[in-house]
Amino acid sequence: MGLNSILFYFFAGLAVASAILMVTRRNIVHGAVYLITTLLATAGVFLLLQAEFLFVTQVILYVGGIMVLFVFVIMLVNLDVSLLQYQFNRQRFVAGVLALALGAQVFLALKTGQHSLFPQARIPEVLPKNTEAVADALFGRFMLPFEIASILLLVAMIGAVVMAKRRV
């Protein structure tokens, strides 16, 4: 059991624990903080897999961008009211089916993968530079899907502006 395994279980445990805390907290700001912790822990797992570009993108986009907006909106909401309301709804059937599906996935993954909780790391010593590899893939092989996605985002953005403008 090497350092990599210890770090992986640290980050994975942190991610799972704070994800659970996120959905069980009553105070929505605390929930947001735990969500940030989850995202950061996931970023740590990316770093462990030597995907440093993905790590930085996760931190910049999700933690530094999207979550800032989340927190921003949360603070505009009247928290005193939402603290008194019951925040959980019981949809046992749907939740049960989803949990079963997820459990089956985990079981399959464990069955087909290495039969060990502490797999040997098989990371090559020198990887090609992440950033260049991502750029090559995005602007070379996957040019069309990339452009379609960006146009989709642009449309969504313009749509949001138009809808907001009507109300103001």
Part of the chain binding another protein (CB under 8 A), chosen from 14-22, 63-71, 83-91, 136-144: 63-71
- Which of 2, 20, 23, 65 contacts another protein by CB under 8 A? 65
Report the 3 state secondary structure along 121-148.
CCCCCCCCCHHHHHHHHHHHHCHHHHHH
Nearer to another protein among residue 12 and residue 47 (C-beta)? 47
Which amino acid is located at 7 in the chain?
L
Q: How many CB atoms lie within 10 A of CB 36?
A: 19
**Interaction of residue 60 with another protein, rule CB under 8 A:** yes
Nearer to another protein among residue 119 and residue 159 (C-beta)? 159
Give the contacts of 52 (CB within 8 A, at least 6 positions apart): 46, 130
- Which of 3, 69, 163, 164 contacts another protein by CB under 8 A? 69
- Which of 129, 149, 153, 155 contacts another protein by CB under 8 A? 129
Q: How many CB atoms lie within 10 A of CB 165?
A: 8
Contact residues for another protein, defined by CB under 8 A: 27, 29-30, 33, 36, 52-53, 55-56, 59-60, 63-65, 68-69, 71-72, 75-76, 129-131, 168
